[in-house]
């Protein structure tokens, strides 16, 4: 558990940085450099608040302000990343439809502007895959999980491959496509072993048990 003194100290530091950045914008409202600095400060503050108890409402406000600033700046991938994290604030508060909207917009921006496969791109595919699964949008979710698996594989993130392939195993099992389920499970198991991560391996073991038992619920 984080040291409460450290958490408070860092929160106050980030708020001071925001206040200083805001003063510079107030002095020169049209200065792109000043606006970019304020947007970055708001992102950093919002992320800290998102992870800190009792400050999630402030996190929402600061992420929304950061998004509004980035919409005026020529930095589309940072805009997409910020929108995705705004979606996290909504998801963690149980506002799944709002989160889905943010995740979808972030992915659309990546599709328009990304020029290379990166971990951020893979993550930007993963989040709408997961939220659509929670919302019962099975076909959309499965397409995105399959893409996420390919993108994580392309950047060598074994945990991402294991999770996505595990989800695809369950989707295939739910549609009685046992051959596909076994193929996805083999990929998931191989990736999980490479992670050395207990949580990832536990998830894949659960997926394998469900396949062996014929449990078709997702």
Q: Residues 87-120: pLDDT tens digits?
A: 999 999 999 999 999 999 999 999 999 999 999 9
Structural domains counted in the chain? 1
**Domain hosting residue 54, numbered range:** 1-74
Residue 215 domain flag: no
Interatomic CA distance for residues 125 and 133, integer angstroms: 13
Interatomic CA distance for residues 118 and 139, integer angstroms: 25
Residue 82 domain flag: no
Name 116's Cβ contacts closer than 8 Å, sequence gap at least 6. Answer: none
Per the CB < 8 A criterion, the answer to whether 58 and 97 are in contact is no
Query: Residue 97 is encoded by which pair of tokens?
Result: 């439809």
DSSP string covering 170-187: HHHHHTT-HHHHHHHHHH
Query: Residue 198 is encoded by which pair of tokens?
Result: 């207990």
Residue 44 domain flag: yes
Beta strands in 62-145 (DSSP E): none
Instruction: Indicate the pTM of the whole model.
Output: 0.94
Residue 106 domain flag: no
Task: State the pLDDT at residue 217.
Answer: 64
Interatomic CA distance for residues 42 and 128, integer angstroms: 24
Q: Which residue has the tokens 């600033």?
A: 69
Residue 125 domain flag: no
Residue 173 domain flag: no
Per the CB < 8 A criterion, the answer to whether 24 and 34 are in contact is yes
Mean pLDDT (whole number) for 7-35: 96
Closest to 76 measured CA to CA, from 110, 125, 40, 124: 110
Residue 144 domain flag: no
Residue 105 domain flag: no
pLDDT surpassing 60 at residue 1: no
Q: Which residue has the tokens 């450290």?
A: 6
């Amino acid at each position: 558990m984080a040291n409460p003194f450290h958490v408070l100290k860092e929160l106050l530091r980030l708020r001071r940085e925001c206040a200083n950045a805001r003063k510079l914008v107030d002095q020169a409202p049209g200065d792109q450099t000043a606006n970019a600095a304020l947007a970055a400060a708001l992102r950093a503050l919002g992320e800290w608040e998102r992870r800190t108890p009792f400050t999630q409402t402030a996190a929402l406000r600061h992420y929304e302000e950061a998004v509004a600033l980035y919409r005026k700046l020529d930095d589309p991938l940072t805009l997409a990343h910020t929108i995705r994290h705004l979606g996290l604030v909504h998801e963690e508060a149980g506002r799944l439809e709002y989160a889905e909207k943010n995740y979808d917009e972030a992915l659309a921006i990546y599709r328009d502007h990304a020029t290379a496969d990166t971990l951020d791109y893979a993550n930007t595919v993963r989040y709408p895959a997961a939220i659509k699964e929670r919302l019962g949008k099975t076909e959309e979710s499965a397409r995105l999980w399959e893409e996420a698996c390919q993108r994580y594989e392309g950047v060598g993130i074994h945990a991402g491959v294991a999770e996505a392939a595990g989800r695809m195993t369950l989707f295939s099992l739910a549609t009685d496509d046992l051959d596909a389920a076994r193929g996805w499970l083999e990929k998931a198991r191989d990736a999980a072993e490479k992670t050395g991560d207990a949580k990832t391996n536990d998830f894949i073991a659960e997926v394998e048990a469900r396949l062996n038992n014929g449990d078709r619920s997702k």
